[in-house]
Amino acid sequence: MSELLKRVEKIFLAQKSVMTKAGGFVAVKDILYLVSKTGGVFAAVAGKKDVELAGNLNAWEELLRGLFIQTHRQYLVALDRIEGTFERFPVEPEQQKRMTREELRLKDDECELSLRGTRKRIPVTAFYGKALKKTLGITRFHYLAPENPVDRALRLYGLIDFGWRDLYSLDISNQAAVKAFKKKWDIKLFSKTRMLSYFRQFGVNEINTKRVIKNLIYQVWRWIQMGIEEKSDGNIRSLWYRIKSVLAQHSNILGSGDVDTFYSTLQEMVEERELFRYKDFGFMDMNEPYRFVGEKHPEIILASEKLGHYLFIKKLADAQKVSFICLKGEPATISMEYFSDDLKKECGDKPLTIFCISDVDPAGYSIERNLVKGLEKAHKIDKVVKLVDTSAFTTEQINIMRFPVVSYKQKGSQVKPLAPATMGQVTKGRGWFAEINDERLISEKDEGGGWKTVTIWGIESDAADRDIIEERFKAGFGKPAKKIRKKKA
């Protein structure tokens, strides 16, 4: 009878609301989890901001027992919201072999919970894990869901988070503890035997150099984030010398091409895998002198692909107090990181408007697209305005100023590039022309036998009248625009 009363009480409690500290109410059934933070207890509600509750977590654990369960000293989780579990701290098979039975048991009592209504993962520590498994009626967490997909991706990429358990509980203010931790887990201090145990090449008794480099880069980044490693002095090459010294300690591992492997691996991890950013390491942006965030309208950006336009666009940007950036061709990823962050500080979530000055050719349009793509990672782009296009020139001017981009022979569907062009360049040029679709930038010459020579042309942005660019910018910015008069060449 008492068990039945408890169940009835639980049903009614789930339909009730609890009072917030501000005097409002929140339904118990809408609460995903409760979290204890400095200053109080907060209830997470799907699709809404966290609300603060009175009392402490222990009191709420007692009140909501049967509906919520404690998974961590800071968390109470709604049982009916649990969807699955993920391995919290994955380890490599080699490391798992060296773990004691007690360490393996404790590891199996830990996980992360996925909850219906939020993308946040809730930690489950070993202290509470056993009770949670009993409540869910399982013996192992991995029966619910596979390994965390992020951790799995890192593992498959060949990365090992050395010393994650020790790092999780490390007091970074305790210099002696930090020193002891590094002595135990710093890859730079590993013996060759230990390096082989982690980084052996498949099928041979040799060290996989690229995997060593990957893990060294990842460990430096991880430790910088945790505050136990200093950032770089600004020079990417300084990080290479740290890694080179490790490779040099082991005979037959430092090779002449390893510096190229380092740079390509770093680029792969940042730009392709997007595991972290160049900025995280403290690398300097060499393009910093050629960009600025506007004081009045930071969300409006005047951009040029050429440093030669610096004085011109700086003058325009300063007059309107907008942001500007001059590139050296394709935008460097590190420049986009710094510029994007600087814009974020001033603009917040305000969408950006970008005014571009770029060559009217495939390369210029590629630079413009990659600038927009780089900023889109952190910002919403409201509008992109081309300040230089074919409409800025008369036909007479185009005939004088255009330059050949690519030439090829064509007969029906057959296409043959003309040296020095490659087929890839021809394909890119034809794709770009389809976007431009201005007959003044293409010419054909009959070669007989059904063949013709086709040339696609481009125009340098420097050829555009700067008065026209300025008028277009002011008109797009909202200033009264004068009638634009195209000058004859």
**What amino acid is encoded at 242 in this protein?**
R
Do 76 and 68 contact (CB within 8 A), yes or no? yes
Asked whether residue 479 is assigned to any structural domain, the reply reads: no
Same domain as 357, residue 301:
yes
Assess whether 14 and 74 both reside in one domain.
yes
User: 133 and 13, same structural domain?
Assistant: yes
β-pair partners for 144 = none
CA angle 185, 188, 192 (to 5 degrees): 95
Are 13 and 120 contained in the same domain? yes
Whether residue 61 is contained in a domain is answered as yes
Rounded-to-integer distance, Cα 46 and Cα 333, Å: 36
Residues 59 and 173 grouped into a single domain: no
d(CA 296, CA 262): 42
Enclosing domain of residue 379: 288-391
CB 458 within 8 A of CB 441: yes
489 residues of the chain, pLDDT tens digit each: 354 444 444 545 566 888 888 888 899 999 999 999 877 899 999 888 899 998 899 999 988 988 999 999 999 999 989 888 877 765 555 555 566 666 666 667 888 888 988 888 898 988 899 899 888 887 777 666 555 667 777 877 889 888 887 887 888 899 999 999 999 999 988 888 888 888 887 667 888 889 999 999 999 999 999 999 999 888 898 899 888 888 887 656 677 788 899 999 999 999 999 999 999 999 999 999 999 999 999 999 999 999 999 999 999 999 999 999 999 889 999 999 999 999 999 998 899 999 999 999 999 999 999 999 999 999 999 999 999 999 999 999 999 999 999 999 999 999 999 999 999 999 999 999 999 999 999 999 999 999 999 999 999 999 999 999 999 999 887 754 444 444 443
* 6, 8, 10, 14: CA torsion to nearest 10: -170
* CATH code of residue 307: 3.40.1360.10
Same domain, 168 and 266: yes
Among residues 391, 421, 439, which one ends one of the domains?
A: 391
Q: How far apart are CA 144 and CA 155, in angstroms?
A: 20
DSSP at 421: -
Determine how β-strand 121-124 pairs with β-strand 111-115. Answer: antiparallel
* End-of-domain residue from the set 98, 129, 153: 153
Are β-strands 51-53 and 121-124 bridged in parallel, bridged antiparallel, or unpaired? unpaired
Task: Tell me, yes or no, whether 159 lies in a domain.
Answer: no
**Residues 330 and 371 placed together within one structural domain of the fold:** yes
Give dist(CA 43, CA 52) in Å, integer: 6
Residues 123 and 19 in one domain: yes
CA atoms within 13 A on the CB side of 285: 26
**Both 105 and 46 in a single domain?**
yes
Are residues 209 and 332 located together in one domain of the fold? no
Q: How many structural domains comprise the chain?
A: 4
Task: Transcribe 302-327 into DSSP letters.
Answer: EEES-GGGHHHHHHHHHHHTEEEEE-
In this prediction, residue 191 carries a pLDDT of 86
Q: Exposed, middle or buried: residue 215 (CB in 10 Å: 0-12, 13-18, 19+)?
A: buried
Given 3-state DSSP classes, what are the helix, strand and coil percentages for the chain, each rounded to the nearest 5? 45, 20, 30
Residue 478 lies in a domain: no
Residue 472 domain-assigned (yes or no): no
Distance of CA 249 to the CA centre of its chain: 33
